Amino acid sequence: MATVEDRLSEMIAAAESARARAYAPYSGFAVGAALAFEDGGVVAGANVENASYGLSLCAEAVAVARAMNEGRRGGLLAVAVAGPGAGDGTVMPCGRCRQMLSEMAQLGGTDPLVWSGEGQAAVETRLSALLPLAFGPDSLNP
């Protein structure tokens, strides 16, 4: 069984491939995200902007929504994000996306790895480091 680190190159490729399908005509900032699951599945998404700018969806939010609509509830092992400057720059999930990723992670009790960038500039961290003391499904049942 491949470790999640072994899947990094596959995930970056999936994130880059999704990124190519971003709809980002207003910012020009195309982002792709790939989610890796315990069953070996990978679900990717890219940002979708709107002429009413505030309605824009981030790549990570699209990927989470796609995974939820596939019926996935938890099992999230890792997240790879690809953005402009990948290779010498990184894009980390925004606050709203950290919360959305956290819901998927909490449903399965995982603390996913989060990667962005490649080579020396790459960032590898855990979702719990990006969103400590997270609010989640259990918080609604005190």
Closest-CA residue to 83 (of 34, 41, 132): 34
The residue annotated as part of the active site, out of 10, 38, 49, 60, is 60
Nearer Cβ to ligand THU (56/99): 56
At closest approach, how far in Å is the CB of 85 from ligand THU? Answer: 12
At closest approach, how far in Å is the CB of 131 from ligand THU? Answer: 13
Nearer Cβ to ligand THU (56/128): 56
Nearer Cβ to ligand THU (13/24): 24
At closest approach, how far in Å is the CB of 57 from ligand THU? Answer: 7
The verdict on whether 16 is a catalytic residue reads no
How many degrees, rounded to 5, is the angle at CA 29 between CA 17 and CA 6? Answer: 35
Nearer Cβ to ligand THU (32/75): 32
At closest approach, how far in Å is the CB of 13 from ligand THU? Answer: 18
Residues within the interface to ligand THU (CB under 6 A): 24, 27, 29, 31, 47, 49, 56, 58-60, 81, 91, 93-94, 97
How many whole angstroms separate alpha carbon 22 and alpha carbon 49? Answer: 8
How many whole angstroms separate alpha carbon 37 and alpha carbon 119? Answer: 24
How many degrees, rounded to 5, is the angle at CA 50 between CA 104 and CA 41? Answer: 30
The angle, 0 to 180 degrees and rounded to 10, between the axes of the packed helices 59-69 and 8-19 is 110
- Token pair 């720059």 is at which residue? 89
Which residues are annotated as catalytic?
Answer: 60
